Structure 1
Amino acid sequence: MIQRIQSVFLALGAITSFGLFGTDAAETEVPVAGSEVFADAQYDVYDSLILTGGVLAAGLLLLIAIFLFTNRKLQVVLCNVALMITLAYAVYGGVLWYTDSAAAQAQVDFGALLPVLTMLFAALAARYVRKDEKLVRSADRLR
């Protein structure tokens, strides 16, 4: 059902994923000429199409999973896929950041924490969906 705890974790995961569209992962004082990432002084998901697509895909999967409460196995699969997508774009984003020439001048912002929170919420949602499935199976045995 929608009011279960895994729905809360799925919603929080989607919110933190979509929250990346409004926050920066890092920023510099001034725009850095010659820098691929910090040319506008901000490192955000708009700096790479892969980052934008990954954030959008993970957020949409978690949002869709909220409404699939009748199909718990598919919910677990969507949570795990969203977790893997988030891990992939977080690693890709980290590589982009650390290989950029202006990374030493940058200060980390709150947006760098959001992929970690998205992964945490997706993992917790998958855990509670599996727990719910186990509870339903044990209740079926009692009938």
Structure 2
Amino acid sequence: MLQRIQTVYLFIVTALGLALFFLPLANMQAGADLFTFDIFGLNAGVNAQSEQVYRTWSLAVLTGISTLLPFITIFLYKKRMLQIRFCIFNAILLICFYLLFGFFVWITYGKYSATHFGIEIALAFPLVNLILTYLAIRNIGADEALVRSLERLR
């Protein structure tokens, strides 16, 4: 289980997904007001007493599923085709993350008449997860091909 490189890839995907729960994704400025955008919503203010002005629970649920799925996939090492299917589904979820995030930014940008929009480093984590998921799919496929070639030799 832990000796394969795809397990390391999937573990890193899980760790980066967990980091998304604690880091801001972007910030916006509308006049004198400063807003931070995380997976739970748009918060007015940057300190500990910030007030949530727009909720994005669907983004948090999507992030939770795309974080839990690779962790479950690690333990399905005997079912490589199911692992590949889970990884493909996770890649689709990560693409949906960016689409949903863009939709929420579009709505809040117009609603609060923002003048400045800046992204944070955590917004790149789903892209890194997408790349690592692709690498895991390739390595799981290589393992499956190796097992099938060995079964053919028997």
TM over 0.5, shorter chain? yes
Contact kept? 1:20, 1:111, Cα under 8 Å = yes
Distance of aligned partners of 1:14 and 1:32 in 2 relative to their CA distance in 1, 3 Å threshold: farther
Alignment match, 2:88 = 80
1:110 Cα shift? 0.5
- Aligned partners of 2:31, 2:73: CA distance in 1, in Å? 39
Q: Which runs of 5+ in 1 are unaligned?
A: none
Alignment match, 2:19 = 19
Query: Of 46, 66, 70, which residue of structure 1 is paired with 2:40?
Result: 46
Q: Which runs of 5+ in 2 are unaligned?
A: 42-55
- The TM-score normalised by the length of structure 1 is 0.87
1:139 Cα shift? 1.2
Contact kept? 1:65, 1:79, Cα under 8 Å = yes
Seq. identity, %: 27
RMSD, matched Cα: 2.0
Alignment match, 1:137 = 148
Q: Which amino acid aligns with 1:74?
A: L
1:97 Cα shift? 1.3
1:124 Cα shift? 1.0
1:32 Cα shift? 7.2
1:126 Cα shift? 1.1
- The TM-score normalised by the length of structure 2 is 0.81
Q: Which amino acid aligns with 2:38?
A: D
Count, aligned residues = 137
- Aligned partners of 1:3, 1:104: CA distance in 2, in Å? 50
1:77 Cα shift? 0.8
Judging by fraction of residues, say which structure has more strand. 2
1:29 Cα shift? 5.7
The list of structure 1 runs, each at least 4 consecutive aligned residues, that deviate by more than 6 angstroms after superposition, is 30-33
Q: Who wins on radius of gyration, i.e. which is larger? A: 2
Contact kept? 1:97, 1:103, Cα under 8 Å = no
Cα deviations by residue, 1:33-87 (Å, 9 ceiling, x for unpaired): 6xxxx7xx21110111110000000111100000110111111111111111111
- Aligned partners of 1:103, 1:126: CA distance in 2, in Å? 40
Cα deviations by residue, 1:13-32 (Å, 9 ceiling, x for unpaired): 11112211111111136897
- Aligned partners of 2:80, 2:68: CA distance in 1, in Å? 17
Distance of aligned partners of 1:82 and 1:97 in 2 relative to their CA distance in 1, 3 Å threshold: same
Distance of aligned partners of 1:133 and 1:98 in 2 relative to their CA distance in 1, 3 Å threshold: same
Residue 109 in structure 1 maps to residue 103 in structure 2: no
